[in-house]
A = this chain, B = another copy of it.
């Protein structure tokens, strides 16, 4: 089957976002990352900064909400944003070939058999170095910053998908950008999209 959608999950600082943008550019496909936040802001009326903070890292705020009775029919803002984001991602995937960054898109599109799911990771030390180069120093030590962000992403993913973030079997292709280099990852994926699997292969669907 021809690949029409690529989702890119990534460890913080691994260059996954760069990989996603470069793949979209090379293939001439639409690229959805901040665009999702902007569209969600338009639809929901929430501030883009609020959405940015809560759409990928919300699971850690759930403890307080767990005291709210489930019988009052209420919904946390995070869950509301999740539902809207989910609808939006399903719409975007129908619009045409595209690359989608993060936001549990791999799980949301799990029944789309034309969707290739990537997970980009890299050794902690390299990511910490890259984060400082890209975003500058902060009060928190870079390795801790990286670990904390990953922990939040993992918690969010587990909460909404009931699956383990970064477990190989949840993705079609997991790549270490520290070992392979961003350029080569991009070329590998573009090559896969442009050359479908041979028909005589034992099992494949992409």
A contacts, CB < 8 Å to B: 11, 15, 116, 119, 121-122, 126, 130, 166-169, 171-184, 188, 191-192, 195, 197-198, 200-206
Listed residue (A119, A181, A188, A200) with the most chain B CB atoms within 10 angstroms of its CB: A181
Considering only CB atoms, which chain B residue lies closest to A3 in the complex? B179
7 residue pairs A–B, Cβ–Cβ below 8 Å: A119-B174, A167-B168, A172-B180, A173-B175, A181-B203, A182-B201, A184-B204
Q: How many Å lie between the Cα of A173 and that of B171 in the bound state?
A: 11
Q: How far is the CA of A176 from the CA of B3 in the complex (A)?
A: 15
Bound together, the chains give a CA A169 to CA B175 distance in angstroms of 8
Q: Looking at the complex, which one of B174, B179, B182 makes contact with A116 (CB distance below 8 Å)?
A: B179
Whole-angstrom distance between the Cβ of A132 and the nearest chain B Cβ: 13
Contact status B180-A206, CB under 8 Å:
yes
Once the chains bind, are A176 and B172 in contact (CB under 8 Å)?
yes
With both beta carbons as reference points, the residue of chain B lying nearest to A202 in the complex is identified as B182
Q: Does the CB pair B177–A203 fall under 8 Å?
A: yes
User: With A175-B173, A202-B15 in contact, do A119 and B197 touch (Cβ < 8 Å)?
Assistant: no
